[in-house]
Amino acid sequence: MQQEEINAQGNVSTAGHFVLLGFSDLPNLRGFLSGLFAVMYLAVLIGNSFIILIIRLDPALHRPMYFFLAIFSSLEICYVSVTLPRMLFNLWTQRRTISRVACATQLCFFLVLGATECFLLAVMSYDRYVAICNPLHYALLMNPKRCAQLAAGSWLGGIPVQIGQTWLIFSLPFCNSNQIEHFFCDIPPILKLACGDTSAHEASVYVVAMLVVAVPCILTLASYSKIISTILRLPTAKGRAKAFSTCSSHLLVVVLFFGSAAMTYFRPKSSHSAGTDKLLSLFYTIVTPMLNSMIYSLRNKDVIAALRRLFLAKNAVT
């Protein structure tokens, strides 16, 4: 594969394309990585589609908690599809060139969907907070109209900010190289290619990360601190176990996603390395979405019960 690179005297901002190096430093593992990522992508698609289907078919799951879970599963499919198909294409064909417009588009969708996931996780924690800490008003506070508004706000809330951030990053001049040391267009490796002082852009990244990552994370943790406090005050061990089982899966997903994302976007530019960035990115772009579907299906008693009912109904028909 011919590596296309702009020399030090050139200006990549006029070249119109970048080269995603991805895993080119591991040529002997290309076949293994292709197979591994293809299996993981199928697991994300099948697992989350399965959750959506179960929730849609079982009337017992037509509740706010599972309404948000179905939206979350749909989001996970979109989120992974922004990066993984392109990565598989690059591995299979060894054609790593990506146009400037395609790179900006990928980054914008990735940021928008990532922000949506942060907001939606916070909304899901609020739903659990109301259900456990204020159960008598749950039906009133989490009525269908309110749920639709919260879901729409999660999807739309990050769009203006992330479009603006993408425009700011790609308005920079890029020098010396057009090779992105990553498997998709992400902020840290793109900023490394920029000319001159990028401290203002780094500051904007931190501000946006505070808005779309830190604030939802703080709200989520605040909700769970109240939830845990309420659970511990329940009179029976059985009641505490039942209450905690309804939110333990979501709490595990929150820790996995926010933890890996925070380590990527809250580190200064000087501390970023290609290997570490790729490892962390693999975790929150592929591994976590794959684990989420398993966590919500295998650790959720309501989903397992719905699956049993579905199979029993199918066997009864046959």
Average pLDDT of the segment spanning 76-94: 91
Average pLDDT of the segment spanning 97-126: 92
The better pLDDT of the pair 40, 230 is held by 40
Average pLDDT of the segment spanning 117-139: 91
Can you name the residues that pair with 20 across neighbouring β-strands?
Answer: 180
Helix (H, G, I), strand (E, B) or coil at 54: helix
Give strand ranges (E) for the chain. 17-20, 97-99, 179-180
pLDDT the model gives residue 9: 41
Query: What average pLDDT does the chain have?
Result: 82
Residue among 77, 120, 66 at smallest CA distance from 258: 120
pLDDT the model gives residue 109: 95
pLDDT digits (tens, 9 = 90+) for 177-221: 788 888 899 888 888 888 877 888 888 888 888 888 888 888 988
Residue among 278, 249, 282 at smallest CA distance from 121: 249
**Fold category of 12-317 in CATH:** Rhopdopsin 7-helix transmembrane proteins (1.20.1070)
pLDDT digits (tens, 9 = 90+) for 14-37: 457 899 988 877 778 888 889 999
Domain parsing of the chain, residue ranges: 12-317
The DSSP bridge pattern shows strands 17-20 and 179-180 to be parallel
Q: How many helices (H) and strands (E) does the chain have?
A: 13, 3
Distances 95 to 22, 33, 176, 193 between C-alpha atoms, Å: 11, 16, 21, 20
Rounded distance between C-alpha atoms, residue 92 and residue 75, angstroms = 26
Check if the beta carbon of residue 88 is closer than 8 Å to that of residue 34: yes
- Between CA 283 and CA 107, with CA 80 as vertex, the angle to 5 degrees is 90
pLDDT the model gives residue 289: 85
